[in-house]
Amino acid sequence: MCARSYAAASSGSVRSRSLISRITPAASSRPIALAAIGRLEAAGVMREMSDRLRADPELAVAYERAHTAYLAHRSSIGAVPEIEGKSAGGMPTRVKCLHVLVAHALAAGAGVNPLGDEALALLPDWSATGPCIHPDADDGSPEQAHP
């Protein structure tokens, strides 16, 4: 699912949001999406976001809420004592991994992780020229349908 489809569907019905919760984490692990996120990281987006996080108290509060939401969701699935109180991607004080923040934005929905939402919005529509995996692949193998 592309970022634009996600944005349109996430404002849709409960059925659409349920579908998104099942498919978008996998979408964030596709080769084209991974490469696009990696290009954002290489361009310095994480550093710029971390700088803004330190300078903007409202953003810091919203990012802290994302951290809390992440922890609450994970604990609803099961306890992992080794990482108790730790979320991912640098939350709540810095931006360490845009891949994690994009995955969190896709899985949690728009409005939960402001920096994840922002990174997602910066991504190109990675499905614009076709699927990033072969549509008949059962194993999720990255048989790219286009270069």
**pLDDT tens-digit series, residues 110-135:** 999 999 999 999 998 866 766 655 55
DSSP string, 25-47: HHHTTSHHHHHHHHHHHHTTHHH
* Residue 133: partners with Cβ closer than 8 Å, 6 or more residues away: 30, 31, 140, 141, 142, 143, 144, 145
**pTM, to two decimals:** 0.70
Nearest residue to 5 (alpha-carbon basis) of 86, 120, 82, 118: 120
Q: Quick one: angle between helices 3-10 and 14-27, nearest 10?
A: 160
In angstroms, rounded to a whole number, what is the distance separating the alpha carbons of residues 124 and 75? 33
pLDDT of residue 70: 94
For residue 11, pLDDT over 90 is answered with no
- Scanning the structure block, which residue is given the tokens 């194993």? 139
In angstroms, rounded to a whole number, what is the distance separating the alpha carbons of residues 60 and 48? 14
pLDDT of residue 21: 40
For residue 85, pLDDT over 80 is answered with yes
pLDDT in tens, 18-69: 333 433 444 555 678 888 999 999 999 999 999 999 999 999 999 999 999 9
Half-sphere exposure of 46 toward its Cβ, with a 13 Å CA cutoff? 19
For residue 139, pLDDT over 90 is answered with no
pLDDT of residue 25: 45
For residue 72, pLDDT over 60 is answered with yes
For residue 107, pLDDT over 60 is answered with yes
